[in-house]
Amino acid sequence: MTTDITAQGGVQKEKSMLLQKAMISANYDALARAHDEGKKVSSTFVPGNLNELLMCFDMVRNLPEINALQSAMRKQTGAYIMEAERAGHSEDVCTYVKSDLGMMAKGSIGPSGQPLPVPDLLLLSYTGCFTFMKWFELVRDQYNCETAMLHVPYQADGKITDNMRQYVVMQLREHIIPSLERVSGIKFDIDRLREHLAESARAEDDLVWVLESAKHKPSPIDAYFGGVYYCGPIFTAFRGAPETTEYYREVRREVEQRIELGLGPVTPEGVLDEERVRVVVEGPPNWTHFRDFWKMFYDEGAVVVASSYTKVGGLYDYGFRHDPDNPLETLADYCLGCYTNHSLPARVNMLCDYMDKYSADGFLVNSIKSCNSFSAGQLLLLREVEQRTGKPAGFIETDLVDPRYFSSANVKNRLESYFQMIAQKKTRHGVAA
């Protein structure tokens, strides 16, 4: 099903991957050196992160979820999770949390093999997942460092009101910015924030273009397994930096070229030759067996054309861009608009919309055992999307970073029969038409 990319001009794809790899490793270097160089370190989560604001105070940014998933890809999280469970954390706790706590217990060596510093500030933007709060309480107990919490109202009615926005702006002005000034010793400069926000908006335009390229047939990207790479820099420590804008320009160039050549997505084994099935996926991926999991899709010619997970760090495809003209309001809107802050009916609407816009043949839920934020209501969501779209839905269960909960044979069997059923359905419709 795939063609070796070295024979297909895969060099350009390599360039964006190398750019991203260099950015990630530079950030781990910066974290390892931060305290020796007199810099301050913040820990913060992906959804609703205030990266542009943190950059205004020269804070080095540490993202515990990213450490967990990077460690999982390097097969390190099994031991961390066991360590956390030995310390009394239940089997049902989010495995990102247990991986982080286990890593701390084992000496805080990050996925790059370098030490991770004790954070000077835990900055929590509370966007819908209660676990975030409990996670930082545990880290704070251990490190006794300063904590700043931005409370973001839940979008229960599916819209952002001006009251909600002003409530977040007020907290930014009166609590978050003063905390950042105190910890960093740097005075807040709103023009510096505007510059970072303008960079963010440029990169966001290109990210949306790349994600929406999956409307093409064949899709030039996989919007789940490839999508997590594309979203990586903008969801984490790099949004608002000029090298991130350059990274997205490069990804866009690569995808434009694939469209011109009529090529499908690049997989770890090369370019996908034949797109047989187009699916929308709900739920985070499994990280411990990421490549095996992806292979189960591309071996069947299944391409993910849209996914909810690539929206946890912002729903840019529905028009949101960071706005340098309204710097604090735009940060508020960003936090309020993250996927984890949306209600179940809003999520159903979004997924049905994706099924339609991306001409998907099926809808698949990857239910994550330990992520309540995504898993709650997923069966209801599955039935609703199936009913509204008339397209077959599938359901599998894995975990984020706990290798004990990825049953390869089981997942493979389910996926194969699901994709084959969709492919047959498509053929029958084609013949009937």
Q: Which of residues 10-69 bind ligand SF4 (CB under 6 A)?
A: none
Residue range at the interface with ligand SF4 (CB under 6 A); choices 215-223, 229-237, 341-349, 368-376: 368-376
| Cβ contacts of 327 within 8 Å, gap of 6 or more | 190, 193, 194, 197
Contact (Cβ atoms closer than 8 angstroms) between residue 25 and residue 290 = no
SS (H, E, C) 117-170: CCCCEEEEEECCCHHHHHHHHHHHHHHCCEEEEEECCCECCCCCCHHHHHHHHH
Length of the chain (residues): 433
Residue range at the interface with ligand SF4 (CB under 6 A); choices 194-202, 297-305, 367-375, 423-431: 367-375
* Strand-pair category, 302-307 with 277-282: parallel
Residue range at the interface with ligand SF4 (CB under 6 A); choices 23-31, 84-92, 313-321, 371-379: 371-379
Residue range at the interface with ligand SF4 (CB under 6 A); choices 8-16, 179-187, 215-223, 369-377: 369-377
| Cβ contacts of 272 within 8 Å, gap of 6 or more | 1, 2, 218, 222, 264, 265, 266, 298, 301, 303
Distance of alpha carbon 389 from alpha carbon 362, whole angstroms: 9
Nearer of residues 90 and 163 to ligand SF4, judged by Cβ: 90
Give me the 67-96 binding string for ligand SF4, x by CB under 6 A, dash otherwise. ---------------------------x-x
Q: How far is the CB of 168 from ligand SF4 (least distance, A)?
A: 19
Q: Which of residues 381-420 bind ligand SF4 (CB under 6 A)?
A: 400
Q: Does 358 bind ligand SF4 (CB under 6 A)?
A: no
Nearer of residues 326 and 372 to ligand SF4, judged by Cβ: 372
| 427, burial (CB in 10 Å: exposed 0-12, middle 13-18, buried 19+) | exposed
Q: Tokens 């994550």 identify what position?
A: 368
Q: Which phi and psi angles does 93 have, rounded to 5°?
A: -70, 145
Q: How far is the CB of 129 from ligand SF4 (least distance, A)?
A: 3
**Total residues at the site for ligand SF4 (CB under 6 A)?**
11
Give me the 118-137 binding string for ligand SF4, x by CB under 6 A, dash otherwise. -----------x-xx-----
Closest-CA residue to 251 (of 4, 12, 7) = 12
Q: How far is the CB of 47 from ligand SF4 (least distance, A)?
A: 7
Given the rule CB under 6 A, which residues bind ligand SF4? 94, 96, 129, 131-132, 340, 371-374, 400
